[in-house]
Structure 1
Amino acid sequence: MAQLNLDVSDTEALLAGAQKLLDSCREELAKRVIGQREMIDGLLMALIARGHILLEGVPGLAKTLAVKSLAEITGLDFKRIQFTPDLLPADVTGTLVWEQATGKFSVRRGPVFANVILADEINRAPAKVQSALLEAMEEHQVTIGEESYPLPDPFFVLATQNPIEHEGTYTLPEAELDRFLLKLLVRYPSPEEELRILNPHNTYVPALKPILGPSQLESLRTAAEAIRIDDKIGEYIVSVVSATRPSATKPSNPRSRGGSRPAEGAGSGRAGREGLYRYISFGASPRASIALYRCCRILALFDGRLFVTPEDVKTAALPVLRHRIVLSYEAEADGLDPDAVVSRILAFVPVP
């Protein structure tokens, strides 16, 4: 996202309009999805940032319902693909079909040719099917035969996966995970929200109004581009992402540059930071820095602020980085998940 040079009054007017539109979207989605504010805001963030979302949660937490409802309020073309072990790449992207009457091959486009794609239980399909989405997610095109065909604009992939089932599932390759803007963990509802779900009136599924069309979506993007982000925040973002890469953070030898040995205890913080890297096999790519930069501005937009703060970086770091770092066996043995490792990294990196 570029940064627009607007007057403060113009920016405040943009933010006020964006706040009103976002509140309307949340109210409309709340007609079907009770609670799950973090998931709803994450889905809206992906739309504004032109990114893809990976939703992870146990069955019954309204992941599919939320995605279908989001597509309905945008009025965009929506397709659902149920990923299964016997799915083929051609079932997703399409294939060439021989036409007996003409004696030629014709293109039969797959369900991926839509604006909003729900890849339901994406980890139930083998790697060759998952890799069929790589070109679509990054380049917004699909190659069938010898020709490449552009996908509709906008194009979003919203994938779901079940974290508790391992039989008949396949781990998503890192190349595909890196193409998701965010990985959202869908939590259980609170007791109060679950009581509302039990209300008999909630068995009726109302129709939703398309209030987030292309022009409204573009206005939200314009408002996000008007958010100010200081150079110090940009440096902080790069520092956080770089800190996930063990190979890029090897300690230098002070004696090799003619320096003196550090004072006793001065390296204790650094030693703790270096000790953390035994839990990380591979860190995040520059694509993570771009994603974090975009999401920080959208978080500021959600709060109605004209500028990005370090807290925005910390808040966005978990959903942006949790699927982009590869943990070692030691992390699993010590009971650490990606969120715990990212939280420790945030504690080590100096805040501007």
Structure 2
Amino acid sequence: MQQVQEQQHQGQSRADLTLFAQKMEALKSQIATVIVGQERTVDLMLTAILANGHVLVEGVPGVAKTLLARLTARLIDARFSRIQFTPDLMPSDVLGTTVFNMKTNEFDFHPGPVFADIVLVDEINRAPAKTQSALFEVMEERQVSIDGVTHGMGDLYTILATQNPVEQEGTYKLPEAQLDRFLMKITMDYPSLEEEVNILERHHNNATLVKLDAVRPVITREELLELRRLMDQVFVDRTLLQYIALIVQQTRISKAVYLGASPRASVAILQSSKAYALLQGRDFVTPEDIKFVAPYVLQHRLILTAEAEMEGYSPVKVTQRLIDKVEVPK
């Protein structure tokens, strides 16, 4: 099938893909100067941003969740803001508020930190439900409605959120409807022994430590939007569309899953696999692309049965088993 797909693209110019590959390699190499390892996490985050989706990064404290999000935003020459979620944070602290202007006798809108191209929401599960729900409209519709007036966001608008899975005190579980608005949930694991030694060496020999302030953007907002438009040219065979649908169907009939994935998940897998194919320098999707992105698109959208949880299954493990059940197209 791969040969057939390549034959269908022989007449196409690869100039765009060459430029794309150069920009993505530049992004990855810059991230590697600051963060050791985490190549899979970096690939997934770039895939999600390219696919025009929001990202939820989960991991214990100290694995560089916030650093990776800040670094990625810094490498893209776009408006960036950071919101630290706390239990006393109000919706107006995030979205903004209207203030009476005594000179004009009218109310002026003062935009909140959510008005940027890339927004880092740190510890998203620390804010109460009413503040989390304030993000519903802006995440899905890319707009905010305040006092009957709609304020639109830019084309690049992306939320990078972090959360700590261990500490429960002072946290609020994200509702399923909000989790579903994240294109991907990425789990950042501990570094390997070799990577941790590398981290220690960098800190010991402070000269090799690259400061975040010294990092310069490698891609502009317009270039990134242009790269996103390349996704329309990515070829996906009909058998692969059926492959995606069968994977999502498995989540709805599995005995280990109480609530399966919705059609939004199918579209998310499609968009993510197209973006990941571009990251690999290809203008066509393979089954391997789908298998790589699917667990991270599905894991936060499934609710497992009590029996499955008692047996120690995690959403990622269940998702992987469901994917393996589906026959890979030849």
Using the size of structure 2 for normalisation, the TM-score is 0.91
User: Which position in structure 2 is the counterpart of 1:176?
Assistant: 178
User: Which position in structure 1 is the counterpart of 2:5?
Assistant: none
For the Cα contact (< 8 Å) 2:33–2:210, is it kept in 1?
no
Check 1:146–1:234 CA distance in 2 against 1; reply closer, same or farther (3 A cut).
Answer: same
1:289 aligned onto 2:295: no
Match of 1:215 among 215, 222, 225: 222
For the Cα contact (< 8 Å) 1:141–1:148, is it kept in 2?
yes
Match of 1:233 among 240, 244, 256: 240
Give the deviation of 1:163 after TM superposition.
0.6
> 2: CA distance between counterparts of 1:288 and 1:11?
32
Give the deviation of 1:186 after TM superposition.
0.5
> 1: CA distance between counterparts of 2:102 and 2:134?
28
Match of 1:319 among 296, 303, 311: 296
Check 1:147–1:308 CA distance in 2 against 1; reply closer, same or farther (3 A cut).
Answer: same
SS in 2 for 1:105: strand
SS in 2 for 1:189: coil
> 1: CA distance between counterparts of 2:280 and 2:77?
26
Give the deviation of 1:227 after TM superposition.
2.4
SS in 2 for 1:245: helix
Give the deviation of 1:47 after TM superposition.
1.9
User: Which position in structure 1 is the counterpart of 2:211?
Assistant: 205
> 1: CA distance between counterparts of 2:209 and 2:319?
39
Describe how 1:255-334 pairs up with structure 2 within 5 A: 276-277=254-255, 279-334=256-311
Using the size of structure 1 for normalisation, the TM-score is 0.85
Describe how 1:129-168 pairs up with structure 2 within 5 A: 129-168=131-170
Moved over 6 A (4+): none
Larger Rg belongs to: 1
User: Which position in structure 2 is the counterpart of 1:344?
Assistant: 321
After superposition, give the CA deviation of every residue in 1:4-42 in whole Å (9 maximum; x if it has no partner).
xx9525353332222222111111122222211112112
Amino acid at match of 1:174: E
Amino acid at match of 2:87: P
Gaps of 5+ in 2: 1-7
> 2: CA distance between counterparts of 1:118 and 1:215?
20
User: Which position in structure 2 is the counterpart of 1:109?
Assistant: 111
SS in 1 for 2:56: strand
For the Cα contact (< 8 Å) 2:277–2:283, is it kept in 1?
yes
Greater Cα shift, 84-93 or 217-226: 217-226
Describe how 1:72-91 pairs up with structure 2 within 5 A: 72-91=74-93
> 2: CA distance between counterparts of 1:185 and 1:160?
10
1:224 aligned onto 2:224: no
> 1: CA distance between counterparts of 2:293 and 2:104?
54
For the Cα contact (< 8 Å) 1:115–1:156, is it kept in 2?
yes
> 2: CA distance between counterparts of 1:218 and 1:170?
34
Amino acid at match of 1:185: T
For the Cα contact (< 8 Å) 2:47–2:279, is it kept in 1?
no
1:244 aligned onto 2:221: no
> 2: CA distance between counterparts of 1:175 and 1:205?
38
> 2: CA distance between counterparts of 1:17 and 1:222?
13
Amino acid at match of 2:248: V
Instruction: Provide the alpha-carbon RMSD of the alignment.
Output: 1.7
Give the deviation of 1:322 after TM superposition.
0.4
Greater Cα shift, 56-65 or 213-222: 213-222
How high is the sequence identity, in percent, across the aligned residues? Answer: 44
After superposition, give the CA deviation of every residue in 1:99-147 in whole Å (9 maximum; x if it has no partner).
3444432212111011111110000011111110010011111011111
Give the deviation of 1:67 after TM superposition.
1.2
Amino acid at match of 1:230: D
Number of positions where the alignment pairs a residue of Structure 1 with one of Structure 2: 317
> 1: CA distance between counterparts of 2:300 and 2:182?
8
1:26 aligned onto 2:33: no
> 1: CA distance between counterparts of 2:78 and 2:283?
30
Check 1:215–1:108 CA distance in 2 against 1; reply closer, same or farther (3 A cut).
Answer: closer
For the Cα contact (< 8 Å) 1:224–1:301, is it kept in 2?
yes
> 2: CA distance between counterparts of 1:140 and 1:302?
25
After superposition, give the CA deviation of every residue in 1:293-339 in whole Å (9 maximum; x if it has no partner).
01112222222234222121111111000001111211211111101
> 2: CA distance between counterparts of 1:152 and 1:220?
16
> 2: CA distance between counterparts of 1:51 and 1:235?
22
For the Cα contact (< 8 Å) 1:11–1:223, is it kept in 2?
no
> 1: CA distance between counterparts of 2:47 and 2:328?
24
Describe how 1:8-19 pairs up with structure 2 within 5 A: 8-19=10-21
User: Which position in structure 2 is the counterpart of 1:261?
Assistant: none
> 2: CA distance between counterparts of 1:167 and 1:222?
43
